[in-house]
């Protein structure tokens, strides 16, 4: 749901057909969200583009939902760069992210992540 006055935007993971809410993640200062599903349904990545209070600066973070784990835990991947693309491998736990200092930069970076390798 979008942000409205004092209510944050939120991403809800809802079980079908029961419509039971499995997880809600509140998000503040949101300009837009893009969702990327892992093909097997194990993970959901939500690219959140946020703005500062003045709404003059945009920044990104990725909310990573572990859909098959109890309570649907969510991890946040912070990045100062503009995220141009994010995609999961078809069958597995890894994803790649294309990012750059700004959206019009000629030099881009590609980073790889594995959802099975957690930081301690």
For the beta carbon of residue 88, count every other beta carbon within 10 angstroms.
Answer: 21
The DSSP-derived string for 45-73 is EEEEEEE-TTS--EEEEEEEEETTSTT--
Distance of CA 72 to the CA centre of its chain: 14
Mean pLDDT of the chain: 90
Residue 120: what pLDDT? 44
Measured over the CA atoms of residue 24, residue 80, residue 84 and residue 58, the dihedral's sign is: positive
pLDDT for the residue 118: 66
Q: What is the pLDDT of residues 44-74, one digit of tens each?
A: 999 998 887 787 788 889 999 999 999 999 9
Across 79-87, average pLDDT: 91
pLDDT, mean of residues 26-48: 93
The two structure tokens encoding residue 116? 């099975």
Query: Can you tell me which residue has the tokens 């997880």?
Result: 23
Beta-bridge partner residues of 63 = 46, 76
| Total residues belonging to the chain | 120
Predicted TM-score of the model (pTM) = 0.87
Residues 63 and 49 sit within 8 Å (Cβ to Cβ): no
pLDDT above 80 (res 17) = yes
**86, burial (CB in 10 Å: exposed 0-12, middle 13-18, buried 19+):** buried
pLDDT over 90 (residue 110): yes
């Amino acid at each position: 749901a979008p942000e409205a006055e004092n209510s944050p935007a939120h991403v809800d993971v809802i079980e079908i057909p029961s419509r039971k809410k499995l997880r809600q993640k509140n998000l503040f200062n949101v300009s837009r969200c893009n969702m990327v599903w892992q093909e097997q349904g194990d993970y959901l990545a939500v690219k959140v583009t946020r703005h500062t209070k003045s709404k003059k600066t945009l920044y990104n973070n990725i909310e990573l939902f572990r859909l098959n784990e109890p309570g649907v835990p969510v991890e946040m991947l912070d990045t100062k760069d503009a995220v141009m693309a994010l995609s999961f491998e078809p069958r597995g736990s890894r994803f790649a992210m294309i990012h750059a200092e700004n959206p019009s930069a000629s030099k881009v970076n590609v980073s790889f992540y594995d959802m099975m390798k957690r930081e301690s």
